[in-house]
Structure 1
Amino acid sequence: MKNFVISVIAVLFLSLTCQGSIDSFIVNRYRQIVKLIETGNAKELSKLIAYPVKRENPLPDITSAAEFVSYYKILFDKVFKDQLKQYNDNIIFQHNGDYGLVGGGLNGEIWINEKGKIIAINYSSAEEQQLKQALKAKIKKEMHPDVKDWKENRLVARSEKLLIRIDETEKGVRYSCWSKGKKMIDQPDIVLYNGIEEMHGSQGGWSWTFKSGDWTYVVDNVQICGDTEECGLFLRLLLKGQDHSVIKLREIK
């Protein structure tokens, strides 16, 4: 989703807590990761990743080791490898059980979990940004004129009966919705502007809130929950501030 990745990271860093010491397993794993990137060993590095690797919308996520190896040279360019030369063990930070590289010129470009698996790559090379812009242009040509103008896409999702987009536009955050059977080239059934975008604390998750008369539309991306049924992507409809219905969504970009 973002890309608001930059926004996510900026907020996340504000809440980072530096630990007095980092487990030797994590330190050694980061040394291994840095070495593999420096030497261009994409095949071995692909074994140390918790898939999927999220990419900025509308770029597709990396869902397998084979895709990672194929995409490796786009993902890690010379600019990033030069940044990585500033790595040292003291810039590993722990946050909510995960570990990121923050400091010495690095700003959370890589995060791993307690098992030593890479869970986020927040760096985006110039070549990847070119691919992103080309894909954005292609998608806009396939959209209805009413909604083809947007700066960044936040989300594309489906339910059994709905197709939903959330975009950042010149007029603010926009919600567009098509009913079952329609495509984005068709005129949307609902278009709402002036959405409010909120992050669910430092552990991730987002919500987007839109209003239309007595109705409130909340697209809720819940990443931390006590019950697995409560996690995921939802469209919550409220009438005059009271819960009306909840629709489960599936992110499709």
Structure 2
Amino acid sequence: MKATCIVTALLIITAITALGQNSELKKEQIQSIQKLVNSFKANNKTKIVDVIDYPLRREYPLKDVKDKNDFLQRFDDIFDRQFIDRVAESKISDWSEVGWRGIMLDNGTLWIDDNGKIMTVNYQSPKEKQLLAYAIQADKNQLPKSLQNFEKPLYLLFTKNYKIRIDEKSEGIYRYAAWKIKKQKSEPDIIIENGVLEFQGSGGNHTITFKNDGYTYTVSINELGTVDTPDATLEVSKQEKILLTEGGKIKRN
């Protein structure tokens, strides 16, 4: 996929981390990889969709793949010939164990667990790129004019009191827009430009921070956490005094 800078950064962090990991694969892991590779060599769609960890995430605002039937309908859009051939022709030396994250092909094109279950696909076919462009345009069309100028949407999340959008206007340039849920109007209550993205460690957790009239709005995206950790957290502060903290749920299609 034409990754957003967030996805690209995650892959770079993961690849760097992998260099420090013991990439020597266990016998059982090698067997799982070989079984998966053989399914791709045979182009056996039935076997491949059986080893997906659903839902399989796709780049927002594309719909995630919810189950086996859904994947069978979208298989050729996601797994084109180039991707199938890459997995089918891969050697064991192309796969690396990256600690608790799992096992990756190349620098994270494909991620599986120890049992060969596909967890993440960071490849995007030309067809899926086209579908993504259509989805982004449809997303723009349903927004007020004040919010239609962006390259791609990153997050749509809901806290107890707010609906929040974060869009990437151009590479590395982020915009925050928020609505008070009870008001239910099309124009946002606030728009803040020029957010700053920062990663916390190598696990994927990151923050996007926006400053406006002495106030700081920090949206934390929690890729890792406990079962009680929210998808995201909104924190509003002024002069280092926290005025508001609300957990939020990220909406995915």
TM norm structure 2: 0.88
1:175–1:16 CA distance, 2 compared to 1 (3 A): same
Indicate the SS of the match to 2:53.
Answer: coil
Please report how far the alpha carbon of residue 44 of structure 1 lies from its aligned counterpart in structure 2 after TM superposition.
2.0
Question: Does the 8 A contact of 1:161 with 1:180 survive in 2?
Answer: yes
Aligned to 2:151: 151
Tell me, in whole angstroms, the C-alpha distance in 1 between the residues paired with 2:200 and 2:70: 30
CA-to-aligned-CA distance 1:61-109 (integer Å, 9 cap, x gap)? 112222122211111101212323440011211213211012xxxx321
Aligned to 2:179: 178
Question: How do 1:6-155 and structure 2 match up within 5 A?
Answer: 6-17=8-19, 18-19=21-22, 21-97=24-100, 98-102=102-106, 107-155=107-155
**Match among 1, 4, 7 for residue 5 of structure 1:** 7
1:150–1:20 CA distance, 2 compared to 1 (3 A): closer
Please report how far the alpha carbon of residue 233 of structure 1 lies from its aligned counterpart in structure 2 after TM superposition.
1.4
Tell me, in whole angstroms, the C-alpha distance in 1 between the residues paired with 2:13 and 2:236: 28
Please report how far the alpha carbon of residue 117 of structure 1 lies from its aligned counterpart in structure 2 after TM superposition.
2.0
Tell me, in whole angstroms, the C-alpha distance in 2 between the residues paired with 1:244 and 1:181: 20
Residues matched between the structures, number:
246
Amino acid at match of 1:9: L
Aligned to 2:241: 242
1:139–1:26 CA distance, 2 compared to 1 (3 A): same
Question: Does the 8 A contact of 2:233 with 2:246 survive in 1?
Answer: yes
Tell me, in whole angstroms, the C-alpha distance in 2 between the residues paired with 1:62 and 1:22: 29
Indicate the SS of the match to 1:248.
Answer: strand
Please report how far the alpha carbon of residue 182 of structure 1 lies from its aligned counterpart in structure 2 after TM superposition.
5.9
Tell me, in whole angstroms, the C-alpha distance in 2 between the residues paired with 1:181 and 1:134: 31
Indicate the SS of the match to 1:149.
Answer: coil
Q: Structure 1: state its 5+ residue gaps.
A: none
Tell me, in whole angstroms, the C-alpha distance in 2 between the residues paired with 1:111 and 1:165: 28
CA-to-aligned-CA distance 1:124-155 (integer Å, 9 cap, x gap)? 00000000001111111111111111112111
1:140–1:182 CA distance, 2 compared to 1 (3 A): farther
Aligned to 2:160: 160
Question: Does the 8 A contact of 1:74 with 1:128 survive in 2?
Answer: yes
Tell me, in whole angstroms, the C-alpha distance in 2 between the residues paired with 1:71 and 1:62: 8
Please report how far the alpha carbon of residue 181 of structure 1 lies from its aligned counterpart in structure 2 after TM superposition.
5.0
Tell me, in whole angstroms, the C-alpha distance in 1 between the residues paired with 2:189 and 2:233: 19
Tell me, in whole angstroms, the C-alpha distance in 2 between the residues paired with 1:178 and 1:239: 20
Tell me, in whole angstroms, the C-alpha distance in 2 between the residues paired with 1:6 and 1:36: 28
Question: Does the 8 A contact of 1:42 with 1:68 survive in 2?
Answer: no
Tell me, in whole angstroms, the C-alpha distance in 2 between the residues paired with 1:251 and 1:100: 26
Amino acid at match of 2:83: F
Aligned to 2:201: 201
Q: Structure 2: state its 5+ residue gaps.
A: none
Tell me, in whole angstroms, the C-alpha distance in 2 between the residues paired with 1:43 and 1:206: 36
Tell me, in whole angstroms, the C-alpha distance in 2 between the residues paired with 1:62 and 1:99: 21
Aligned to 2:210: 210
